[in-house]
């Protein structure tokens, strides 16, 4: 029997606690960036284990600002994996730099030190490390593989709560590490992002750039009525990329609920793995998807397309016809006309032909996962 309602691939889980937090902030009369945002940043810093966290309006902005404060500009090259969302590469384009795409490991779907090294040139100034699906990349090995002057920025949009093999959280490497709080992420505020870092001076620059490069933000002016800086002199070009207290109050509740969400995602992933393991058809899962350190933002599988009578896309549409929000993460960027001619990347190209993302998230239940697998197996058969 088919579902009556559509099952999105990832939807947020909001409770009465988030609703009460919104009402509390609305009643204060201050909904822009202010004390709630500052509290959220401090709580994030404690949770992640980084001394500084700067919130912004999206992970895309976080990636852009991270490259900006790293000195990236026209003529520079920025290496990033091709199997990622376009924001990873576009952050370089916004600054006039060139994204140079590297291949990914066929099991982890993440870049390796060797693959990054293969793309180094005299113009390389940064490497974007993507923790694909929530699997933490060994950034220390990539750091050792590139020259000291090359900056590393971590795209951890999928990896809030993920841990390295050492047990340390993603965000504690010392690199500028960018998180996403978009609607379907492990911690959701609807929109938003953050940068975790260790350098206080860089943190101050990021806070300045996120709000027009003003020396005093609106909350500081409001909370200090004796301030005369009503029209401050601007010294740098800034941007409108700030977070808000309405988002922050949701984030503070979501942060407290992370153990609950982690357990939900793990249970769904375990059920998928159990049902897939019982199939005769060899369906591949991302490496270490059930490991403790994986954030499980995505549950990606790879179909043996050479053994199927229909294409991956036909199967995807059939799943959606049965009200299952399966999707694809992602079409390789190196094949897209926006980025110009790039060298072939065989792993990315092969993976893309069979990759499929099944629904997982804080609102997906084991019963939902069982329905997904029943329909998946029927369609495969």
Catalytic residue among 185, 274, 284, 307: 185
**Catalytic annotation on 185?**
yes
In SS3 terms, the chain reads as CCCCCCECCCCCCCCHHHHHHHHHHHHHCCCCCCHHHHHHHHHHHHHHCCCEEEEECEHHHHHHHHHHHCCCCCCCEEEEECCCCHHHHHHHHHCCCEEEEECCCCCCCCCCHHHHHCCCCCCEEEEEEECHHHCCCCHHHHHHHCCCCCEEEEECCCCCCCECCCCCECCCCCCEEEEECCCCCCCCCCCEEEEEECCHHHHHHHHHHCECCCCCCHHHHHHCCCCCCCCCCCCCCCCECCCCHHHHHHHHHHHHCHHHHHHHHHHHHHHHHHHHHCCCCCCEECCCCCCCCCCCCCEEEECCHHHCCCCHHHHHHHHHHCCECCECCCCCHHHCHHHCCCCCCHHHHHHHHHEEEECCCCCCCHHHHHHHHHHHHHHHC
Catalytic positions are 185
């Amino acid at each position: 029997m088919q579902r009556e309602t559509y099952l999105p691939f990832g939807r947020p889980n909001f409770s009465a606690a988030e609703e009460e937090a919104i009402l509390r902030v609305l009643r204060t009369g201050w909904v822009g960036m202010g004390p709630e945002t500052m509290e959220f940043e401090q709580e994030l810093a404690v949770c992640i284990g980084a001394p500084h966290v700067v919130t912004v309006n999206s992970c895309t902005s976080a990636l852009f600002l991270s490259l900006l404060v790293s000195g990236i500009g026209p003529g520079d090259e920025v290496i990033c994996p091709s199997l990622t969302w376009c924001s990873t590469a576009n952050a370089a384009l916004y600054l006039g730099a060139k994204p140079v795409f590297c291949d990914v490991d066929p099991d982890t779907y993440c870049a390796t030190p060797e693959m990054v090294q293969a793309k180094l040139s005299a113009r390389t100034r940064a490497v974007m490390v993507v923790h694909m699906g929530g699997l933490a990349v060994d950034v220390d090995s990539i750091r050792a593989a590139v020259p000291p002057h090359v900056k590393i920025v971590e795209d951890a949009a999928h990896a809030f709560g993920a841990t390295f093999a050492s047990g340390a959280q993603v965000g504690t490497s010392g690199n500028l590490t960018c998180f996403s709080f978009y609607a379907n992420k492990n911690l959701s505020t609807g929109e938003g992002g953050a940068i975790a870092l260790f350098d206080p001076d860089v943190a101050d620059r990021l806070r300045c750039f996120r709000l027009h490069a003003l020396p005093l933000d609106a909350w500081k002016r409001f909370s200090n009525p004796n301030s005369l800086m009503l029209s401050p002199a601007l010294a740098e070009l800034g941007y409108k990329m700030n977070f808000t207290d309405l988002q922050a109050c949701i984030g503070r509740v979501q942060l407290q609920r992370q153990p609950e969400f982690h357990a939900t995602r793990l249970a769904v992933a375990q059920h998928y793995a159990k049902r897939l393991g019982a199939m005769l058809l060899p369906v591949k899962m991302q490496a270490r998807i059930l490991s403790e350190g994986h954030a499980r933002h995505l549950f990606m599988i790879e179909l043996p397309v050479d053994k199927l009578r229909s294409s991956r896309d036909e199967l995807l549409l059939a799943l959606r016809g049965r009200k299952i929000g399966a999707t694809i993460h992602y079409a390789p960027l190196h094949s897209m006309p926006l980025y110009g001619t790039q060298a072939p990347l065989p792993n990315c190209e092969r993976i893309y032909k069979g990759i499929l993302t099944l629904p997982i998230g804080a609102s997906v239940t084991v019963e939902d996962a069982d329905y997904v697998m029943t329909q998946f197996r029927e369609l495969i058969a």
